[in-house]
Amino acid sequence: MSVEIGGIGSSVKRKEDARFIRGKGKYVDDVKLPGMLYLDIARSPYAHARIKSIDTSKALKIPGVAAVITGKDLVPLNLHWMPTLMSDKQMVLPTDTVLYQAQEVAAVVATERYIAADGVAAIEVEYEPLPVVVDPKKALEPGAPVLREDREQKNNHIWHWEVGDKAGTDKAFRDAEVVVKQDLYIPRIHVASIETCGIVASWDKVEGKLTVWMTTQAPHAIRTVIALVAGHLGLAEHKIRVISPDIGGGFGGKVPVYPGYVLAIGASVLTGAPVKWIEDRSENIQADSFARDYHISAELAAKKDGTMQALRVKTIADHGAFDAAANPSKYPAGLFHIITGSYPFQKSFVEVDGAYTNKPPGGIAYRCSFRVTEAAFTIERLVDVLALELKKDPAALRMQNFIKPEAFPYKSALGWEYDSGDYGRALKLAMDTIDYAGLRKEQATKRAKGELMGIGISSFTEIVGAGPSKQFDILGIKMFDSAEIRVHPTGKAMVRLGVKSQGQGHETTFAQIVAEELGLPVGDIAVEEGDTDTAPYGLGTYASRSTPVAGGATAIAARKIREKARLIAAHLLEANPDDVEWKDYKFQVKGVPAKTKTMQEVAFAAYTNHPQGMEAGLEAVDYYDPPNLTYPFGSYICVVDIDRGTGEVKIRRFVAVDDCGTIINPMIVEGQIHGGLTMGLAPALYEQITYDEQGNIQGGNFMDYLLPTAMETPNWETAKTTTPSPHHPIGAKGVGESATVGAPAAIANAVVDALAHLGVRHIDIPITPWKVQQILKANGAAE
């Protein structure tokens, strides 16, 4: 590491922050084009209803309304349905039936946004209400109303998926000395990005070119999807430009294609004018970007001494009306089978059934790698249930059962090959940092006085880096990622990437990788991404894949440049190339340290004095298909105090120890962890989307959907261990989502621990004051 150049390991200040703190960021809603029209969407008030008629005549009479689009208008264009990432299909606009409240029914295009909204209000739709199913368990029962009449399969069952050794696992449970079982519900939540979804679509009829500015985490994939869906209308991929400008948070919610995007593109083609659609907050929180909604029944078999032996899990996944999950893996339930976590189960079996319900599409990988949060929460809760059953300390039980460092690379009972880990070291550091032994003594003293104090642990293993192309694709496009690096004659460099930042700090961290590999100051390296006309083809940013995949591509592309530069340096030094080495960020002749050339000197020569027969210039491209996923991990310890009068849970301390392999920028990593911990706090104590029996959303605005603010967020304490990934070019693993994966279980375990002496074994999240108060009242412990 060189502090002077700002390479790997340096806490370089984020290069992109200068424009953001000065209000110079450019988002989709900042795009303003001459003659631009605005699109607004009429939405269904019913969760399930037949559309008897749609009268648009009053809307069309409003001055300024340019067009009104209904599902029947899209049928001749074959655009009333669109594919999802899960090989399902989703309505763009319905022709006869709506399947959830807030579903898109019609669109109005007008000269001003308020006129479009007036047009939406003027549309008259006659509905015939139909039976509503919001419980996925009831949806799968025989005789339940069939929601997707477009499918040949006349039931609400989407898919069944299983993994593991069923017979061996069943036998292990029959033979087990101890079996614990816990049912859990991980509720539906919303990503609630500070920026909602939006698009500006501009169709140039003369050039036959479509330019799109869009809130997407994967611009190249979106370009291909547009070409596949609308190619028959003349939208050829080489004439489609997708620009993803600055994004105000994605968290997985800006990976899918939403109907509003398709409608804006269609409206631009129809009218010949640019069309802008920006969701308002109520649309965003009621109609898209939902995550979780998993009903889980989990069992763990163990010996009486605490040795864990087998795991058996059965799950129902509520996907809403369409299976539109942002999951590019070949597994319908994503990476849920990382559920064995940090423990060497001999036998495991997992089965998941997907169900349709009268809810908006769910399954967004909200700041986690495709169902990993659900998996980590389940296993870490189950370990604490086992500790209660055996009357063992939960930290000691984990230490007893962790996969040992010498066992790596380790193949789990469910087929994953963990790259590296040292789980005991991470937990010990967390315990030492928080004084775990002292806290247990304090808890005993307080409990004797009737005070409620709890200590919770979560020792999780995550799985990130989608992905190996053998396991991941988007609509058949294999998962990999790319980097293009060009070093200019003056020694300045440009890096173009196929990923897309939504606040992660790519302009800084990727510049640091190049700085480390080429010896150029980080300030001399520019990073561009998000424009399909200039960036190499890539699959975008989500599931903490940027550093594990695009970071690998960047390092390899830089090494290609460095190797060519070495040959040029040998030419300049009049030395045999075999005698020239890269040392201390410059080229030197072995054994003659005075004979050196810097990368800047070599770069100039690459354009002015390169060896005869060598191609001029200094640039390279790499498309990196990783050989494996990466497996970051961590141990979190949470301390809570509970108010016996109100049931309020107060987090007194929270220590997070993370291991993400090689750290590029420690300051950025710490910021990522702080943000992730707050997003883990949110579902543990506050966030939940529910629906009544008629499918009406509860929590569809920020009055009812509780997001933690600075007032609710505790002081996070962080520490780290470093266990590099052996297969990654720089040893990095990814970290952006780890804290969101690990935090909920630590908080839930702490609350249950505070109430365990009252016989409490589990509380479904969010653990609200009302839930706690009811438990205290039922046990005569309320004040």
387 and 268 assigned to the same domain: no
Examine the pLDDT at 421 and tell me if it is beyond 60: yes
Of the residues 217, 309, 512, 688, which is catalytic?
217
The pLDDT, as a whole number, for residue 85 is 83
pLDDT digits (tens, 9 = 90+) for 660-692: 999 999 999 999 999 999 999 999 999 999 999
d(CA 180, CA 176): 10
> Is residue 44 domain-resident?
yes
Closest Cα partner for 462 from 656, 724, 671, 660?
660
State CA 128 to chain mean position distance.
Answer: 38
Provide mean pLDDT across the span 15-28: 96
The tokens for 616 are 């001029």
Same domain, 580 and 635: no
Query: Could you give the percent of the chain with pLDDT greater than 90?
Result: 94
When the pLDDT of each residue in the chain is averaged and rounded to a whole number, the result is 97
Average the pLDDT over 503-520 and give the result: 98
Cβ contact 558:485 at 8 Å: yes
305 and 360, same structural domain? yes
Residues comprising the chain, all counted: 783
Active site residue 217: yes
Q: CA-to-CA distance for 531 and 545, rounded, in angstroms?
A: 19
Q: Is residue 412 part of a domain?
A: no
Peptide bond before residue 256 is cis, with ω within 30 degrees of 0: no
Same domain, 299 and 386: yes
Q: Confidence band (pLDDT; 50, 70, 90) for 387? A: very high
Residue 509 dihedral angles phi and psi, to the nearest 5° = -65, -40
Read off the pLDDT of residues 556-566 as tens digits, 9 standing for 90 and up: 999 999 999 99
For residue 253, what is the domain's CATH number?
Answer: 3.90.1170.50
- 663: domain CATH number? 3.30.365.10
**Residue after which a domain boundary falls, among 226, 243, 278:** 278
Choosing from 569, 590, 624, the residue where a domain stops is: 624
Mean pLDDT of 521-529: 98
Question: Are 598 and 666 within one domain?
Answer: no
Q: Active site includes 241?
A: no
Residue 671 lies in a domain: yes
- The structural domain count of the chain equals 3
Place 156 in a pLDDT band, splitting at 50, 70 and 90.
very high
How far, in Å, are 82, 302, 386, 389, 399 from residue 178 at the CA level?
A: 49, 5, 9, 9, 19
178-190 and 290-302 strand pairing: antiparallel
Residue 82 above 70 pLDDT? yes
Question: Do 504 and 646 fall within a single domain?
Answer: no
Q: What is the tens place of the pLDDT at every residue in 189-216?
A: 999 999 999 999 999 999 999 999 999 9
What is the dihedral angle through the alpha carbons of 571, 576, 581, 585, rounded to the nearest 10 degrees?
A: -10
* Same domain? 202 vs 323: no
Q: At residue 3, does pLDDT exceed 70?
A: no
The verdict on whether 574 is a catalytic residue reads: no
Structural domain containing residue 514: 480-624
CA angle, residues 393, 398, 400, in degrees to nearest 5? 95
Average pLDDT of the segment spanning 40-63: 99
Given 43, 223, 312, 367, the catalytic residue: 367
Q: Which pLDDT does position 465 carry in this prediction?
A: 94
Q: Given 592, 624, 656, which residue is the final one in a domain? A: 624
DSSP assignment of 82-146, as one string?
Answer: EE-TTS-EEESS-SSEE-STT-EEEEEEESSHHHHHHHHHH-EEEEEE------HHHHTSTTPPP
Kindly state the average pLDDT of the residues 638-643. 99
Q: What is the pLDDT of residue 1?
A: 52
Helices and strands, number each (H, E), in the chain = 19, 34
**Percentage of the chain modeled with pLDDT above 70:** 100
Same domain for 460 and 495, yes or no, is no
Which of the residues 90, 309, 368, 545 is marked catalytic? 368
Over the stretch 211-255, which tens digit does the pLDDT of each residue have?
999 999 999 999 999 998 888 888 999 999 999 999 999 999 999
Do residues 240 and 315 share a domain? no
Q: Are residues 305 and 432 in the same domain?
A: yes
In sequence order, what DSSP letters do the residues of 265-309 get, joined into one string?
HHHHHHHSS-EEEE--HHHHHHHS-EEEEEEEEEEEEE-TTS-EE
pTM: 0.97
Q: Is residue 148 part of a domain?
A: no
Helix (H, G, I), strand (E, B) or coil at 617: coil
Encoded amino acid at 406, one letter: E
Which helix (H) or strand (E) segment is 69 a member of? Answer: strand 65-70
> Please, which pLDDT band fits residue 309 given cuts at 50, 70 and 90?
very high
Helix ranges (H only) for 656-757 are 666-685, 738-755
User: Residue 159 domain-assigned?
Assistant: no
Whether residue 320 is predicted with pLDDT greater than 90 in this model: the reply is yes
Q: Pairing relation of β-strands 104-110 and 65-70?
A: antiparallel
Within a domain: 149: no
- Give the mean pLDDT of 118-142: 99
Residue 367 falls in the annotated catalytic set: yes
Please check whether residue 156 lies inside any domain of the structure: no
pLDDT score, position 2: 59
Residues 614 and 746 in one domain: no
* pLDDT given for residue 325 in this prediction: 84
Structural domain contains residue 6: no
Q: What does the DSSP assignment read for 402-455? A: SPPGGG-SEE-TTS-EE----HHHHHHHHHHHHTHHHHHHHHHHHHHTT-EEEE
- Residue 484, classed as helix, strand or coil, is strand
pLDDT digits (tens, 9 = 90+) for 93-105: 999 999 999 999 9
Say if residue 633 is in the same domain as residue 618. Answer: no
